[in-house]
Structure 1
């Protein structure tokens, strides 16, 4: 992947890092930019007033949509919940733990471990799976 095919991302700790721009993400961003239209603003995500969407605005919007759709009744809807889910699904899919650490920008494996904490239900399923066919 070339440098041009990466996005620059400023994390909450204010460190800049590059994240891969996958083919799927590229297609979604193109569709978004087409829908948004040409504007006099270099920021990717903006309000209808052509103002920057801040972190709090995005959190509030996600919470609002979670409540509107009823998803909040089942799971937490927040950027951090999405990040935890991403981490956990990557680990469950067998992604190399160091690749997961790099993708998520965690400074240490200990922090990543907290994100993908193994729950009692997972342990029960692993035990039951080990006894299938016996």
Structure 2
């Protein structure tokens, strides 16, 4: 028997994805649902007008807040950038790449690899790692 899961809407590849519903996520979603209230709509995230968000409006809001806070001067602020960062941090934390591939819905490890490309600084650190004191 599988643990609790959320079923996402169709992704870019036209397939829905199942997202593990962890205890932490259950807590956050419960608080959100308490605030949002019960509505007669399937979409989980809605606007103040109780209408589903469109992908473009989320991208626009992220861009707006990135510019407003100055974050976008330092790093890219977009759903895609957040997804890449999530993948990269999970790999750096030692997450099993096959589990990450399934979680993110990447069709192949090659596509996931592109998401978590290792940059020059990371390569230099990997070379130096373990050579302290030599």
TM-score scaled by length of structure 2: 0.91
Residue in 2 that maps onto 1:90: 90
CA displacement at 1:115 relative to structure 2: 0.6
Residue in 1 that maps onto 2:50: 50
Structure 1, gaps ≥5 residues long: none
Q: CA RMSD in A?
A: 1.5
TM-score scaled by length of structure 1: 0.91
Alignment of 1:24-103 (within 5 A): 24-103=24-103
| Corresponding pairs, count | 133
Structure 2, gaps ≥5 residues long: none
Misfit runs of 4+, over 3 Å: none
CA displacement at 1:60 relative to structure 2: 0.8
Residue in 2 that maps onto 1:7: 6
Q: For the residues of structure 2 that align with 1:40 and 1:97, how far apart are their CA atoms?
A: 38
CA shift digits 1:6-36 (9 cap, x unpaired): 0111212210121101111111111111111
CA displacement at 1:129 relative to structure 2: 2.1
CA shift digits 1:62-114 (9 cap, x unpaired): 11111122211111111111111111111111111111111111001100110
CA displacement at 1:38 relative to structure 2: 2.8
Q: For the residues of structure 1 that align with 2:23 and 2:70, how far apart are their CA atoms?
A: 31
CA displacement at 1:39 relative to structure 2: 2.8
**Pair 1:114-2:114 in alignment:** yes
